[in-house]
Amino acid sequence: MSEAHKRKRVDNMNEVDHLLEHRFETLSLEEKLEVKRLGPHHPRDIGISQTAGKNIRAFNVEWFAKKKWLMASIQKKALFCFPCLLFGGSGGEVTWSRTGYKDLKHLSERITKHESSNSHLDNAMKLGLFGWVNVTVQIDSAYQRGIDEHNRQVEENRYVLGRIINCIKLCGKCETALRGHDESADSLNPGIFRCIFETVCEGDARLQRHYDAQPVFKGTSPYRTIRLHADETTDVSCKSQMVVVLRYLLP
């Protein structure tokens, strides 16, 4: 395709006859933005006229300067509204978006009536906002990022809690006390639970990251929010039953 043909194809994208054949909603985003950039097509020699008795009324192209939304079809010899042609008219305003307006005698009053109609005002607003960053999409995107971050944090917390519980279960299985005599940072006897937990952290980057980042709930604090209760009983048949209750206490 030659450059001249490409240029002609782009230049006529905003013409009425082209937009009637290729509806705005069927165009690509790039094409829609180009139509908006070009604006309404204002042909200088459109030949719109109306005979009234011996008088002939001809359309004055100065209307294009007065009403920027006004445009004309060379083939139909009729006037159209640019925003309504793009986004569609409703009710009596369909004339300005589909068939075209030709009654020059009442042109002034019909123009005034049309540009104050709800349909025109709505379409003009749509055209003005088209191509702008969609605030709703931004809000939805930020909201979704918040949800994703929350879900990621929940999954991370569940993983860490699961590893801590495994350490507690190991201490219970071995019937060893979780607490040590001295759980300070430089203690030589911090307790079996803390030793197991810190050993597990050495081979688990996610758990180590939690251990290094959390100043309060590491799983080794003397003020644990996790409590493990076990109770055993033997029935008349000499069968032992043990109940284990794991409690997570909110501060």
Averages of pLDDT over runs of 10 residues in the chain (251 residues) are 47 87 90 92 83 82 91 91 87 82 91 91 90 66 80 88 86 78 66 82 85 60 58 72 69 54
pTM listed for this prediction: 0.50
**Residue 57, exposed/middle/buried by CB under 10 A (0-12, 13-18, 19+)?**
middle
As a whole number of Å, the end-to-end CA separation of the chain is: 73
| Residue 161 structure tokens | 């809690």
pLDDT value, residue 183: 62
| Closest C-alpha among 40, 5, 1 to residue 19 | 40
> What pLDDT sits at residue 145?
82
**Ramachandran sector of residue 88 (left: φ over 0; alpha: ψ -120 to 50; beta: rest):** left
